[in-house]
A and B are shown apart, each in its own frame.
Chain A
Amino acid sequence: MADGTLKVGTITTSSGSGTITIGQSGETVNVSGAAGTGFGKVLQVAQTTKTSSFSTSATSFTEVTGMNVSITPSSASNKILVLMNASLGHGSGGTSAHVTLYRNSTNLGHSSNGMNEVSDANGSNSFSGGVGISWLDSPSTTSSTTYTIYARTGSGTAYFNNNSEYCSITAIEVAS
């Protein structure tokens, strides 16, 4: 059939499993209708933004208030890409400030150093900079999963988002 229109409600494999291939190498397949579900690799996106500052003198990781995002994977084999950006600093006399990512109650980073840090080499001056986390996680669940940023200080006080910049944490479900 050339240049015709095929009207069907459902296309399945003859065996009820396996792969359906549309088009051949060198051809282009366009989907002109509205995007449905199940296409592509990015299945859903969730994001939380934070505009307040958070300071802590805790020397073990503690939850950064309001810096969490929840997502429910549609398949246990899918992955979740988590992205975070913020400013992080420590006060004068402090040595370092650390951030890490938790999946529910599990620290996905190094137990004490986390996933990112700022540090003044001589430990006597206050220091601040931008930090990010990008982590491709395999939660292996279809239950609601919460990703949370935790922070701690090496000594003194750690400052997260000190000038109330807009920071965010984003969770993206990627099909396996």
Chain B
Amino acid sequence: MLINKVLEAIKKINPDAQASITDEDLNTIRWENGTTPISIADIQAQIPVVEQEIADAAAKKIADKASANAKLKALGLTDDEIEAIK
């Protein structure tokens, strides 16, 4: 999955912010196109929120898949038939 937690954290503070970064190194943030800089402390505070959202999204994807498989089985499809339509 393509995601940079630091840039996502920045968007939570300012959805219109434009920035660049090397890896996820907070000390390399370059603010782009006139974006007002945000403090590293404020960004760091949002990173756990982003990490939780990533974890929640991954868990939801697994749960949705299990739920869909269960519903298909309830309709009478075999495992092979379910695999064939994925």
Q: Write out, one digit per residue, whether chain A residues 41-62 have a CB within 8 A of any chain B CB (1) or not (0).
A: 0000000000011111111101
Residues in A neighbouring B22, C-beta threshold 8 A:
52-54, 65-66
Name A's interface SS: loop
Give the number of chain B interface residues (Cβ < 8 Å): 18
Q: Are A55's CB and B4's CB within 8 A?
A: yes
Q: Could you count the A-B residue pairs with CB atoms below 8 Å apart for me: how many are there? A: 59
Kindly name the residue among A54, A57, A91 whose own CB sees the greatest number of chain B CB atoms within 10 A.
A57
Residues in B neighbouring A157, C-beta threshold 8 A:
2-4, 7
Residues in A neighbouring B21, C-beta threshold 8 A:
54-56
Does B28 sit at the interface, judged by CB under 8 A?
yes
B residues sitting closer than 8 Å to A (CB atoms) are: 1-4, 7, 10-11, 17-23, 28, 30, 32-33
Give the number of chain A interface residues (Cβ < 8 Å): 22
Q: Are A58's CB and B20's CB within 8 A?
A: yes
Does A89 sit at the interface, judged by CB under 8 A?
yes
Kindly state the separation between the CA atoms of A157 and B10 in the bound complex, as whole angstroms.
12
Q: Are B20's CB and A92's CB within 8 A?
A: no
Q: Are A54's CB and B3's CB within 8 A?
A: no
Q: Are A56's CB and B33's CB within 8 A?
A: no
- Of chain A, the residue at the smallest CB distance from B31 is A58
Q: Which of A57, A65, A162 touches B28 (beta carbons < 8 Å)?
A: A65
